[in-house]
């Protein structure tokens, strides 16, 4: 009987030894990783984290603060299983053409003018242009009409002659046209602002609003324009006598502000005076910011005075402000108002007419100030920004040397920018068809197939 139980006893003993050996080979913590050291907690997996990839879950590790008491072995947290995220198929939105792809292109509107100085448009679409020798011309559908509206007797000497032109805000009802021109006064020169009536295709009934503005062969200013406030603004040069720009009793070297009848506005900065700003050498362009209503003016810097050259400016014009000429040019003197843009001591623009771009053909130009340059022979573009819209962001020179001297820059009623050359003013090299009026449009895109 004892012999018969031996196999059973042997089998039981064998099984006990087998189990004991298996226990000795198993890890102490029962997992595949070593137990954490005392005082250092093993990072845990944040099972609530949303995977950043649609098919691969990315666990986020968090580090716990060490403790002096050895922590209990962490309970294993199951890793999140990747699940396929089915996103809705996006609807493709039309991609607009990059703004940079829209390039300016120049069209010729009219040819054969002589030193055009200003252009405006009548309500019926006619373009009216002054020529410095004294003619007021009309362009209809791109055709320069043979008969001028007027031939004014002017002193077309040096930079003088027939210059500024403006239409009354009520032109459609009253037919008033304003001009600024140089005339002979004794043995010298002076400048005059007059009002005319356009009647039956002729300018008639001249009324002098202001005369005796100091004039000279050079530095006559000459731009006139109505502002958003309905007042008539005029630029005057220093007429070669720089010190008068600082003299509030002189009309030279100023920007003037008049009522439409030539009287002094009650809200001008200096009581009883037409002076709006002073300390100017030869301002030649006026433009109002379309967003803020601020007035900006282009101005010629010195051409030899005090041994200086260049230093052309674009200024934001504030009532009663002093822009420093001839005491200072450029920036940095706290007694005077600094320019917005400045050509520097070694570059000459000789800036002329100016306008803010408000068309749609060239959206990258929207709200930019553009002005023509005579000596610089290019169209200058200022990109403005900042909280006040009057901080200089970027500058660009366009068409350098292509059309040479550029005097007029104006926005047309068709939403395009117009410019005019001044190559027959005695300082240029005119082409056979100069002077020309040009229109800047958008060049056809290559995608258009044109």
CB 286 within 8 A of CB 276: no
* Cα distance between residue 383 and residue 367, in whole Å: 8
pTM above 0.85, yes or no: no
157 HSE (CA, 13 A, CB side)? 17
**Would you state the pLDDT for residue 102?**
84
**Would you state the pLDDT for residue 9?**
44
Q: Torsions phi, psi of 365, nearest 5?
A: -90, -5
Q: Is 240 left (phi over 0), alpha (psi -120 to 50) or beta?
A: left
* Cα distance between residue 132 and residue 122, in whole Å: 20
Structural domains present in the chain: 101-448 (2.120.10.30)
Other C-beta atoms within 10 Å of 94: how many?
A: 4
Query: What are the strands, taking DSSP E only, across 158-272?
Result: 162-167, 176-185, 188-199, 202-214, 224-226, 232-235, 254-258
Task: Render pLDDT for 217-251 as a digit per residue (tens, 0 to 9).
Answer: 999 999 999 999 999 999 999 999 999 999 999 99
* Cα distance between residue 352 and residue 372, in whole Å: 5
Both structure tokens of 368: 């930019």
* Cα distance between residue 46 and residue 62, in whole Å: 8
**Would you state the pLDDT for residue 446?**
62
Q: What angle do CA 318, 324, 325 make, to 5 degrees?
A: 120
Both structure tokens of 364: 């990258």
CB 234 within 8 A of CB 211: no
**Would you state the pLDDT for residue 250?**
98
Q: How, if at all, do strands 44-45 and 254-258 pair?
A: unpaired
Torsion angle (degrees, nearest 10) of CA 423, 427, 432, 436: 10
Both structure tokens of 275: 């002076």
237: Cβ contacts below 8 Å, ≥ 6 apart:
216, 218, 219, 220, 221, 222, 252, 253, 280, 281, 282, 283
Closest C-alpha among 229, 314, 231 to residue 280: 314
Closest C-alpha among 265, 270, 213 to residue 244: 213
- Residue-by-residue pLDDT tens, the chain, 450 positions: 443 444 454 444 444 444 444 444 444 444 443 333 333 333 333 333 333 333 333 333 333 333 333 334 333 333 333 333 333 343 443 444 444 568 999 999 999 999 999 999 999 999 999 999 999 999 999 999 999 999 999 999 999 999 999 999 999 999 999 999 999 999 999 999 999 999 999 999 999 999 999 999 999 999 999 999 999 999 999 999 999 999 999 999 999 999 999 999 999 999 999 999 999 999 999 999 999 999 999 999 999 999 999 999 999 999 999 999 999 999 999 999 999 999 999 999 999 999 999 999 999 999 999 999 999 999 999 999 999 999 999 999 999 999 999 999 999 999 999 999 999 999 999 999 999 999 999 998 666 544
CB 372 within 8 A of CB 409: yes
Strand, coil or helix: what is 169? coil
* Cα distance between residue 313 and residue 235, in whole Å: 14
22: Cβ contacts below 8 Å, ≥ 6 apart:
none
Task: Render pLDDT for 395-425 as a digit per residue (tens, 0 to 9).
Answer: 999 999 999 999 999 999 999 999 999 999 9
């Amino acid at each position: 009987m004892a012999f018969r139980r031996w196999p059973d006893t042997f089998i039981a003993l064998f099984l006990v030894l087998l189990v004991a050996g298996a226990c000795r080979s198993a890890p102490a913590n029962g997992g595949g990783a070593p137990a954490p050291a005392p005082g250092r907690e093993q990072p845990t997996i944040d099972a609530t984290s949303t995977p950043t990839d649609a098919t691969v879950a990315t666990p986020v590790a968090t580090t716990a603060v060490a403790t002096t008491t050895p922590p209990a072995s962490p309970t294993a947290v199951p890793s999140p299983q990747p699940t396929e995220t089915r996103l809705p198929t996006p609807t493709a939105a039309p991609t607009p053409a990059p703004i940079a792809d829209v390039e300016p292109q120049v069209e010729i509107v009219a040819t054969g003018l002589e030193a055009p100085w200003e252009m405006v448009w009548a309500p019926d679409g006619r373009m009216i242009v002054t020529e410095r020798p004294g003619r007021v011309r009309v362009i209809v559908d791109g055709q320069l009409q043979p008969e001028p509206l007027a031939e004014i007797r002017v002193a077309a000497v040096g930079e003088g002659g027939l210059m500024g032109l403006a239409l009354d805000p009520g032109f459609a009802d009253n037919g008033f046209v304003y001009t600024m021109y140089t005339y002979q006064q004794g043995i010298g020169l002076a400048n005059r602002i007059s009002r005319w009536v356009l009647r039956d295709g002729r300018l008639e009934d001249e009324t002098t609003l202001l005369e005796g503005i100091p004039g000279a062969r050079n530095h006559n200013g000459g731009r006139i324009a109505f502002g958003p406030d309905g007042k008539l603004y005029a630029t005057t040069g220093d007429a070669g006598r720089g010190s008068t720009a600082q003299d509030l009793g002189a009309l030279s070297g100023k920007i003037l502000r008049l009522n439409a009848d030539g009287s002094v506005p009650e809200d001008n900065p200096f009581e009883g005076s037409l002076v709006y700003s002073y300390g100017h050498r030869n301002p030649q362009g006026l433009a109002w910011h379309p967003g803020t209503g601020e007035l900006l003016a282009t101005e010629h810097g010195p051409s030899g005075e005090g041994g200086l050259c260049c230093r052309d400016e674009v200024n934001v014009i504030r009532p009663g402000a002093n822009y420093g000429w001839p005491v200072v040019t450029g920036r940095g003197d706290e007694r005077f108002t600094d320019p917005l843009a400045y050509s520097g001591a070694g570059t000459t623009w000789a800036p002329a007419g100016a306008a803010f771009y408000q068309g749609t053909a060239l959206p990258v130009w929207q709200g930019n100030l553009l002005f023509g340059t005579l000596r610089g022979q290019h169209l200058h573009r200022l990109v403005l920004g900042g909280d006040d819209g009057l901080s200089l962001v970027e500058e660009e020179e366009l068409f350098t040397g292509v059309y040479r001297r550029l005097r007029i820059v104006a926005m047309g009623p068709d939403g395009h920018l117009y410019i005019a050359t001044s190559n027959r003013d005695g300082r240029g090299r005119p082409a056979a068809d100069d002077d020309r009026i040009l229109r800047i449009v958008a060049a056809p895109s290559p995608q258009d197939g044109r």
